[in-house]
Structure 1
Amino acid sequence: MNTTLQHSRLLFAAAMIALGVTGLVNGDFALAWQQVPIHHPPTRTAVAYACAFVELALGIGLLLKRTLPPTCRALFPYMMLWLALLEIPGVVQAPQEVGNWGSFGEIAIITAGAWCLFVEQAGVGNARRLGFAVGPRGLRAARWLLVVALPMIGVEVIVDAVKFGDHVMQPWLQWLPWPMAWACLTGVGSIATCLALLFGVWPRLAATAEAAMLGIITVTYWGPDLYTGRTATTALIISFLITAGVWLVADTYRSIPWLANGRAIWNN
């Protein structure tokens, strides 16, 4: 069991803490990323505060060696519930909406990262009871979840780029030549990463490059917009969580060379 504070886990923990803090400050959920079907104000606020407290506690727990294993055991089912209860219904109700698939893909990537932490920290006891979710099988499943999710966010980016044209970028990025082309390139990058992981072509490099790309997008796209308030702040936090999710999966390849090839890599 590795209790070393990885940079990917530090980023994931920091983003979870920030998500919890914003939830406590706003008394509400993370906007489009937590579409909770509770409309009665007192009940909605109470549940929002409870979720914010859980997210804050999970983020802090990821930073401490003593609380790391139980935190990972709680984080994984929490993210699975988030994915199953808040994202799948949107896809089922309106499968023609690309945005619903993109939202599902974003939370699926975060869940994949949480799954990798669960596999790493589950321990022997959980391995016996939850063999499908831990060990080599659990790790492969987490990687598969990332592989499935990456094309969803990639296609959403490309569709939005075509829809909004050269206005797809934030105003401070309009100086870039061919803004739509740059946006499409990032979507293609996510799809290319999916294919690289699927076929075992430089998976460590591909996943790390994807995490780096998402991190750059997070800082340059949402960072300058923070002064506008809650929407940009929440988007920045969720974007960092997505980045950390990819980074955590990339860390599962750290035992193989950067330019390793072959489907056998899935078993490492």
Structure 2
Amino acid sequence: PLPFGTPWREVWVYGCALALLAASVGLCFARTAIPSVLTIGAYQAAAAAISTPQILARPLNIDAWYPFCEALTPLTGAWILFILLRARSRGPGSQIAGEPTLRIARMLFGLTCVFYGVSHFAYAGHTAGMVPGWLPYRLAIAYATGACHAAAGLAIIVGILPRLAATLEAIMMSAFGALVWVPSFFMHPRPSWATRPQQLWSELVVTLVLAVGAWIVAISLAERSWAFASRARVE
């Protein structure tokens, strides 16, 4: 979000919204896919940059890191999607679309997953309150999902079963949107953590964007094995 007091703030907000809508449509067509993903990546990079001052002001505050990480996750997804599209189009190679930058993007994504895991532990009570009421042991689920976020992130960073880790992370993020945000539109009375419908839509979209970023990471690891490689026997 743009800081209050930014000149022409509403113009920037609506302009960015229109650019994102156009880029989203552009992703559906081969000729405009690469410019569109670059537009989305530029937006997320700007959002991450705007979020850095509050991190510098409160580096040990988890809340200060949330906007940055929620921008960095889709930024890495856009970055990786750009690399995949460039490879498919067989365009000229560049340093930003090479294998080293692909690994860096995956590692940054893994770091954001670790952050999400840490936040589950830091706000375990709030997280447990968002777990559907029909599930037992809600606090345990909050801790378990936090551990899963962190474990998936670490696995992606160090390269231990990264394809499996990224896929499970994507499934978990998708399930969060389906089990938490979607039902919240129909709950009466509305839970204490549920905000106004307009904000609920924003939360749902953010969750879906994070999940899509995770799915892109998983797709980029399609050539990796689901399990540990078996060692050849020494005759």
TM bucket by the smaller chain? 0.7 to 0.9
For 1:179 and 1:186, the matched residues in 2 are separated by: 10
For 1:198 and 1:138, the matched residues in 2 are separated by: 13
Pair 126,238 (structure 1): closer, same or farther in 2 beyond 3 Å: farther
Where 1:67 maps in the other structure, the secondary structure is: helix
| Structure 1 residues without counterparts, runs of 5 or longer | 1-34, 263-268
Query: What residue identity is the alignment partner of 1:114?
Result: A
* Number of residue pairs matched by the alignment: 219
Cα deviation, 1:8-56, whole Å, max 9, x if unaligned, reads xxxxxxxxxxxxxxxxxxxxxxxxxxx211336x822211110100110
Pair 231,147 (structure 1): closer, same or farther in 2 beyond 3 Å: same
| Structure 2 residues without counterparts, runs of 5 or longer | 187-195, 231-235
Does structure 1 residue 251 correspond to structure 2 residue 219?
Answer: yes
The answer to whether the Cα contact below 8 Å between 1:113 and 1:246 also exists between their aligned partners in 2 is yes
Query: What residue identity is the alignment partner of 2:128?
Result: V
- The structure with the largest alpha-carbon Rg is 2
Query: What residue identity is the alignment partner of 1:103?
Result: P
For 1:154 and 1:70, the matched residues in 2 are separated by: 33
The answer to whether the Cα contact below 8 Å between 2:20 and 2:39 also exists between their aligned partners in 1 is no
1:113-192 mapped onto 2 (5 Å cutoff): 113-122=77-86, 127-128=93-94, 131=95, 133-162=96-125, 164=126, 168-170=128-130, 173-192=132-151
TM-score, normalization by structure 2: 0.85
Where 1:237 maps in the other structure, the secondary structure is: helix
TM-score, normalization by structure 1: 0.75
Pair 261,191 (structure 1): closer, same or farther in 2 beyond 3 Å: farther
The structure showing larger relative contact order (alpha-carbon pairs under 8 Å, at least 6 residues apart) is 1
Query: What residue identity is the alignment partner of 1:36?
Result: L
Segments of 4+ moved more than 3 angstroms:
122-128
Q: Quote the sequence identity (%).
A: 29
Deviation, 1:260, is 4.0
Which residue in 1 is equivalent to 2:180? 221
Deviation, 1:146, is 0.7
Deviation, 1:104, is 2.2
Does structure 1 residue 68 correspond to structure 2 residue 33?
Answer: yes
Deviation, 1:77, is 2.4
Where 2:30 maps in the other structure, the secondary structure is: coil
1:234-249 mapped onto 2 (5 Å cutoff): 234-249=202-217
Pair 68,220 (structure 1): closer, same or farther in 2 beyond 3 Å: same
